Structure 1
């Protein structure tokens, strides 16, 4: 099923600023949130929330602008039920009132769980790798969950229940308002909403819950990948904190210059040299392609720097199942030294073309001009 364009979902232009994106989302959320508009709006609000999660994140937005919906998986998006409706009214000063009602209360127990950071890795590959696709293994320095403490940061046996909130991660406070006496639920400041406190820090990670290691990651490089494009390897970034999801690894591709081919999108440009006789009388020449050898018919009277096209002999396209073309530029090579007989013949050749051999201009230069 084809997805709607994220910009269209939020009703904004592709040049919209972050402030415009947030404003559009808030307006649509007030109108379509299921807690206000009913359960019939769940699917619509899910699309609105998904569009906002991508476009409000500069890195994800850049991915979407370049690769479209194929850059993401369904599990990359948080369920809309995790969305805090009270945030929509925070700017108007009504947030605390909405927090007081059970439907919108801010229950953030266990909130210490945080997603791990994304990582970037620069990989250099050959043009042949980009043409055929390949798999490479890389070593990535990354923070992973500490095996000694299981990521808690506490020495085994020294992770205790928080005495302030009794392990709930929340503190309840009675608050008077225009609606009467209400109970406001807030995150416990002693444990940060985790419900547990560390009595002694883990010796291995010094209370951090994570340690740095070198992790081997297998990278599958698709056919047709281009220079400076990046590959997203989900879940291969740094480990999250306190059970949080791991980040992603972004591998930026750098393609080494090739001794034969110059890449132009999905097309390849190469150069072949022909001699004077081939340019004048025509010939069939053999050229190297990325996958094989090919023949090109050079017609009589071919000028230097003429470009011939070999259809389907370029790079594979990353998005569609086709290959670009190879553009072959022929360069006519003029001999630097000529025998007496060759000079006489060329003089006759030049005269037949309506030119005169001038003393202040060499014969070779005149032939070059003629070609």
Structure 2
């Protein structure tokens, strides 16, 4: 009797953005399919596929005797080994199995809001049914990489700032994952002061991006020239007088 084909399961990976919004995907798989030579009958073209010994059932019955009477026992057909296909008429491509493995392109529609571990069932896309049976199903298991905690996406950078820039303000270039960013330094920036640059950190597969935390390292000059020393002394004297 015809039997239903096998179910198969494969796994695909989606980005968090595709899983959230929904998308369509084409996947290429090597799956058992009905043999193109015999169209799934298992017999070579023009030949009768039915085993003459079991009449295509794959089983033969014999009578056995036991105390109290006779009973019937069914065993796999010795001529066709239970396939139901006449071995002398077997298809040269599939060897009488009616099935061959070949590439198939499967179109999958991913609905919005799909979560990690979701299983989508494509009915009739599984293995072919032996002896004309209904095909099985193909299950698509969706894997969505888990997003990292927001703090794991943050990056930290130290930038060197000269004393005049720290005191008067200015700009400094900060190398970040998405490229170099020009950051504004406000007047009166203190050594070790931190600045947070929103959405300038690392990105994950879901489209989220962390922040950049930039620490100012104010460079105290050494080896001052006489003129530089006079300027600093004047600054110190002026600030002391103002106090």
Q: TM-score range by the shorter chain?
A: 0.5 to 0.7
CA RMSD of aligned residues (A): 4.5
| Mapped partners of 1:203, 1:240: distance in 2 | 19
Q: 1:201 to 1:184 in 2, by over 3 A?
A: closer
Counterparts of 2:94 and 2:57, CA distance in 1: 26
1:146 has 2:27 as partner:
no
- Identify the range of structure 1 (171-180 vs 143-152) with the bigger mean alpha-carbon deviation: 171-180
Q: Which has the higher helix share?
A: 1
Match status 1:233 vs 2:121: yes
Residue 242 (str. 1) matches residue 131 (str. 2): yes
Quote the residue 2:215 is aligned against.
334
Name the larger-Rg structure: 2
Task: Give the 5 Å matches for 1:187-336.
Answer: 187-193=76-82, 195-222=84-111, 223-226=113-116, 229=117, 231-234=119-122, 235-244=124-133, 245-255=135-145, 262-263=147-148, 271=154, 333-336=214-217
Counterpart of 2:45 in structure 1 is 156
Pairwise CA distance, 1:210:
2.2
Q: Which runs of 5+ in 2 are unaligned?
A: 157-193, 195-205, 222-231, 236-243
1:127 to 6, 13, 16: 16
Give the drift of 1:151.
Answer: 0.8
Alpha-carbon distance between aligned partners in 1 of 2:85 and 2:154, rounded to the nearest angstrom? 69
1:177 matched to 2:66? The reply is yes
Q: Deviations over 1:212-265 (max 9, x none)?
A: 332221223342423xx353433433434433433524445254x9xxxx445x
Asked if the contact 1:158–1:199 (Cα under 8 Å) also holds between the matched residues in 2, the reply is no
Determine the C-alpha separation between the residues in 2 that align with 1:132 and 1:221: 9
Structure richer in strand, relative to its length: 2
Contact 1:130 1:225 in 2 (8 A): yes
Aligned to 1:309: none
Structure 1 residue runs without a partner (length 5+): 1-109, 274-303, 305-315, 317-325, 345-371
> How many residues matched?
179
Aligned equivalents of 1:120, 1:268: Cα separation in 2: 33
Deviation at 1:128, TM superposition (A): 1.6
Inter-partner Cα distance in structure 2 for 1:176 and 1:168: 24
Partner in structure 1 of residue 6 of structure 2: 116
- Aligned counterparts of 1:203 and 1:230: Cα–Cα separation in 2: 40
Give, in angstroms, the shift of residue 155 of structure 1.
0.9
TM normalised by structure 2 equals 0.52
Offset, 1:168 = 5.2
CA–CA distance in structure 1, aligned partners of residues 17 and 53 of structure 2: 62
Distance 1:332 1:210, change over 3 A: closer
Compare relative contact order (CA 8 Å, sep 6+) and give the higher one, 1 or 2: 2
Superposition TM-score, scaled by structure 1 size = 0.37
State the shift of 1:145 in Å: 0.3
Task: Quickly say closer, same or farther: Cα 1:196–1:230, change in 2 above 3 A.
Answer: same
Partners of 2:67 and 2:136 lie apart in 1 by: 44
Compared CA separation, residues 144 and 335, structure 1 to 2 (3 A): same
Is this contact kept in 2: 1:236–1:246, CA < 8 A? yes
